[in-house]
Structures are given as structure tokens and as C-alpha cells.
Amino acid sequence: MMASGKRGTIYTGVTSDLVGRAWQHRTHAIADSFTARYGVTRLVWFEEQGDAESAITREKRIKEWRRAWKVELIEATNPRWDDLWDEIVG
């Protein structure tokens, strides 16, 4: 999940290239995208799935959640909503 800030907009998506996709959101490479419109640049939570089908199923479930549940998921491992970019680029 990516966010504009701790109390800002949350974006949930799925990708096979986390670094590349996060970079696109961070740099607003797609100017008319949701993340560009709402200033969503901070990677705050991610998880790996075994295959694309599982990843898409999980994404759909999370997108149905209330915001509070998404916040709980993020804060369980990232209570300060730190940008995890450095963690994924290594």
C-alpha cells in the first residue's frame, strides 16, 4: 500500500515489480493517475504472494476493507508510516 501521509490517501495495488511500480508512483510517471492526483508517494506496507492469482485475490479483499482495517494492517508493521522505499531498493 502507498499513502500520501499518515492520515492521507491510501492506495492499494498489485504488481510483479514492486520497485518499478513504487518508483512510478513516487515520481508520478503517469501524470493523470490516482496516485499523482492525490500525492500518493510513500510505500507504507507490502507483502509477497506465491503467485499472481493469490496476489490479485488479496488485493481485492483489502480494497473492500474499511479504512480503519487498512490502517491497522499498516501500523502492525509500520506504526510511524515510514516510507519503505529504501527497504525495497536495498
Listing DSSP states for 39-79 in one string gives T--EE------SSHHHHHHHHHHHHHS-HHHHHHHHHHH-T
Write out pLDDT tens, residues 31-73: 899 999 999 999 999 999 999 999 999 999 999 999 999 999 9
C-alpha to C-alpha distance for 68 and 4, rounded to whole angstroms: 16
Please, which residues have CB within 8 angstroms of residue 29's CB and are 6 or more apart in sequence? Answer: 23
Q: Rounded CA gap, 66 and 80, in Å?
A: 20
pTM of the full predicted structure?
0.93
Sequence ranges of the domains in the chain: 2-89
Model confidence pLDDT, tens digit, residues 3-24: 999 989 999 999 999 999 999 9
Q: Do 26 and 39 contact (CB within 8 A), yes or no?
A: no
